[in-house]
């Protein structure tokens, strides 16, 4: 299904062939992706657990985002809100409006299921652009502080590793 399309950008459901493209592109970017991760997202989409989106810029896969219909972790577990997960635009396609359009599509999908959408964002500097974008889009922290590997961190607790699993949860009213 196509969620957005103009002369340069198409946002559509992720396909099996996208897995290899994103694996190769993120590897070239210096990341350490696992191709099974992308295949899992396509499987979970087929199972109805999520809507997996691929952004194509001028015919080339440029980014991904996933909308999960049920939250299984963090402070929003059991609230019935969809969760936006693993939003990412390849570095070579950033600053072209792709991320904003992807978030528009993800929020539109989420709005079909609930009046609120949630997400978690990493707290280290590599997530700075995403943090700023979420705030500008109206996302607010839930007030539960940071979480690490699905466990709420408490004051004065030592978190030994600052990695992708150290997150702050945010939500946004859609209507």
pLDDT in tens, the chain (175 residues): 999 999 999 999 999 999 999 999 999 999 989 999 999 999 999 999 999 999 999 999 999 999 999 998 899 999 999 999 999 999 999 999 999 999 999 999 999 999 999 999 999 998 999 999 999 999 999 999 999 999 999 999 888 788 889 999 999 999 9
**Residue 122 DSSP one-character state:** E
Contact by Cβ (8 Å): 108, 166: no
Residue 118 DSSP SS3: strand
Contact by Cβ (8 Å): 71, 84: no
What count of Cα atoms within 13 Å lies in the side-chain half-sphere of residue 1? 8
Q: Which residues contact 159 (CB under 8 A, 6 or more apart)?
A: 146, 148, 153, 166
Q: Which CATH number fits domain 2-173: 3.30.70.1060, 3.40.630.30, 3.40.50.1000, 1.20.1270.30?
A: 3.40.630.30
In the chain, domain spans: 2-173
φ and ψ at residue 72, rounded to 5 degrees: -115, 10
């Amino acid at each position: 299904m196509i969620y957005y399309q103009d002369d340069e950008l198409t946002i559509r459901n992720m396909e099996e062939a996208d897995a290899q493209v994103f694996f190769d592109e993120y590897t070239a970017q210096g990341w350490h992706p696992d191709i099974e991760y992308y295949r899992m997202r396509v499987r979970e989409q087929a199972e109805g657990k999520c809507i997996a989106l691929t952004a194509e810029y001028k015919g080339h896969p440029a980014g991904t985002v996933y909308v999960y219909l049920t939250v299984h972790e963090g402070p929003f577990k059991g609230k019935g809100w969809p969760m936006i997960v693993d939003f990412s635009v390849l570095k070579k396609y950033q600053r072209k409006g792709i991320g904003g359009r992807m978030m528009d599509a993800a929020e539109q999908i989420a709005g079909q299921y609930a009046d609120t959408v949630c997400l978690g964002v990493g707290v280290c500097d590599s997530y700075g652009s995403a943090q700023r974008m979420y705030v500008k889009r109206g996302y607010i922290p839930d007030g539960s502080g940071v979480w690490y590997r699905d466990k709420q961190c408490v004051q004065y607790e030592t978190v030994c590793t600052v990695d992708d699993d150290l997150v702050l949860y945010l939500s946004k009213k859609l209507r």
